[in-house]
Amino acid sequence: MPVRKTPPRKRLKPAEQARIAELFDRFEREETDPRTELDYHSPYTLVVAVALSAQATDVSVNKATAKLFAAADTPAKMLALGEAGLKPFISSIGLYNTKAKNVIRMAEILLADYGGEVPLVREQLQALPGVGRKTASVVLNELRIEPAIAVDTHVFRVSHRLGLSTGKTPDKVEADLMAVVPEPYLTRAHHWLILHGRYTCVARRPKCDACLVADLCPSRHLFAG
């Protein structure tokens, strides 16, 4: 496995560095070991679940994979199921036709090139059908193999509201976060920000009164009253 690289750090003013450190200290006190809300029990079921979650909710994916993984939870079983057999399990998920093709093609590659195991090296992982950079980041981070902060709509919104990034693209927000999140928290920041955006710092009418970092948030005044 390649040596993990420490991301370049951004030089911050002491007060801002202390504010950001306190943000993540509080997130840690609230939830020490945050994890994905997708159901999985192996690297393979994780990568399939994350790939299926594109433009879908975790709830809808978990509903589908509960039955799917009972029938096929390895590349060999998935390949035996086939594209036609897979589709009924995931038909409730958006883009299921394309996702079915990708999942079956992924199973073929894993069996042919990796002995049926998921490669946990970024370059190989994100080259798999239906994976790409964002899914690879989620998988590697969830398995605590590589610190990564995949940026979805929740992470994008919360990062801007908390003053952690002004980036206009997910890639720029990711780079900003990797540069300012305290290193001890890099493998957990992704989940903290997602959960905070999903349940507290929601898109409309954020729950500032129930927010554990409201006093540290530069955007709170925008939602007062």
Q: Check 25, 39, 73, 152 and give the catalytic one.
A: 152
Neighbours of 10 (CB within 10 A): 14
pLDDT at 6 over 70: no
How far is 59 from 153, CA to CA, in rounded Å?
16
Per-residue burial over 30-48, b if 16 or more Cβ lie within 10 Å, else e, is eeeebebebebeebbbbbb
CATH architecture, domain defined by 43-142: Orthogonal Bundle (1.10)
Sign of torsion, CA 128 72 146 60? positive
Per residue in 11-43, pLDDT tens? 778 899 999 999 999 999 999 999 999 999 999
Cite the residue boundaries of each domain of the chain with CATH code 1.10.340.30: 43-142
> In the predicted model, what is the mean pLDDT of the chain?
94
Of the pLDDT bands very low, low, confident and very high (cuts 50, 70, 90), residue 148 is very high
pLDDT at 204 over 90: yes
How far is 18 from 14, CA to CA, in rounded Å?
6
Cβ–Cβ < 8 Å for 222, 201? no
pLDDT at 167 over 70: yes
Q: Check 39, 101, 134, 209 and give the catalytic one.
A: 134
According to CATH, the topology of domain 14-35+147-223 is Endonuclease Iii, domain 2 (1.10.1670)
How far is 48 from 217, CA to CA, in rounded Å?
36
Residues 6+ apart with CB under 8 A from 77: 71
How far is 112 from 108, CA to CA, in rounded Å?
6
Cite the residue boundaries of each domain of the chain with CATH code 1.10.1670.10: 14-35+147-223
Whole-model pTM? 0.87
Of the pLDDT bands very low, low, confident and very high (cuts 50, 70, 90), residue 156 is very high
Sign of torsion, CA 187 193 195 198? negative
Of the pLDDT bands very low, low, confident and very high (cuts 50, 70, 90), residue 3 is very low
Q: Catalytic: 134?
A: yes
Mean pLDDT of 189-199: 96
What letter represents residue 103's amino acid?
V
